[in-house]
């Protein structure tokens, strides 16, 4: 049986349901993956990321402000997410993404949006701490440097929203979720700013 014959209508339907991609894209992905749904999803994801990357230079001046208050009334979140048009801002995909961000921020308490937003003095302090931790390890200096860089990467993943592990799927980051959403809606999306409030916390905590 050739690959063409292996592309079944039910598989196309299932792939569309999972990814939101068009019929022809789903058919092509299934052909490329030999009819394997999981591999076809990966094919679409890679293509979506490539397409989305081209959109990230486009101006985004519309969008929504999302909010979330935890059921105990002690944690609240505001986030501004921009897109290119009011049409996309009103879609379920975009609204869902904004909602997911509010839940992510409430649960994981990021301090900054991205690595480039971390103040230099804080980053330098972290490097010093990690350097001291490995200094007496007996490992060669190049290895120590790699360990320190690994710890810095972990610091970003814990403290920067876009680098954090997505709370609903540990296999992807919030940045991955952003890029996937750009691919789905066909417009650039920018997470502009956010604020998280926890009752009794100081602003610097």
Q: What is the pTM of this model?
A: 0.69
Whether residue 107 is found in the same domain as residue 164: yes
> Has residue 204 been placed in a domain?
no
The encoded tokens of residue 47 equal 């293509």
Note the pLDDT tens digit of each residue in 3-33: 444 578 888 878 877 766 666 778 888 888 8
Enclosing domain of residue 123: 119-158
Could you give the strand order of the β-sheet that contains 62-69, starting from the edge strand earlier in sequence?
Answer: 62-69, 75-83, 190-198
pLDDT at residue 92 greater than cutoff 70: yes
Question: 139-165: per-residue pLDDT in tens?
Answer: 777 888 888 889 999 999 999 999 999
CB 60 within 8 A of CB 191: no
Number of domains in the chain: 3
Question: 130 and 110 in one domain?
Answer: no
Instruction: Say if residue 45 is in the same domain as residue 124.
Output: no
Chain centroid to CA 166: how far?
7
SS3 172: coil
């Amino acid at each position: 049986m050739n690959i063409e014959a292996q592309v079944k209508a039910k598989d196309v339907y299932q792939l569309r349901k999972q990814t939101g991609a068009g019929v022809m894209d789903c058919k092509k992905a299934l052909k490329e993956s030999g009819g394997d749904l999981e591999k076809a999803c990966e094919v679409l994801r890679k293509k979506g990321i490539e397409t989305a990357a081209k959109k990230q230079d486009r101006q985004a001046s519309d969008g929504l402000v999302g909010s979330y208050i935890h059921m105990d009334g002690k944690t609240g979140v505001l986030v501004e997410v921009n897109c290119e048009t009011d049409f996309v801002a009103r879609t379920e995909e975009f609204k869902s993404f904004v909602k997911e961000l509010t839940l992510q921020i409430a649960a994981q308490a990021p301090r900054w949006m991205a690595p480039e937003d971390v103040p230099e003095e804080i980053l330098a302090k972290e490097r010093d701490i990690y350097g001291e931790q490995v200094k007496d390890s007996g490992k060669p200096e190049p290895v120590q440097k790699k360990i320190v860089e690994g710890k810095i990467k972990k610091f970003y993943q814990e403290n920067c929203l876009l680098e954090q592990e997505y709370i609903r799927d540990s296999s992807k980051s919030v940045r991955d979720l952003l890029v996937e959403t750009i691919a789905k809606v066909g417009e650039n999306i920018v997470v502009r700013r956010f604020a998280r409030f926890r009752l009794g916390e100081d602003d610097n905590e």
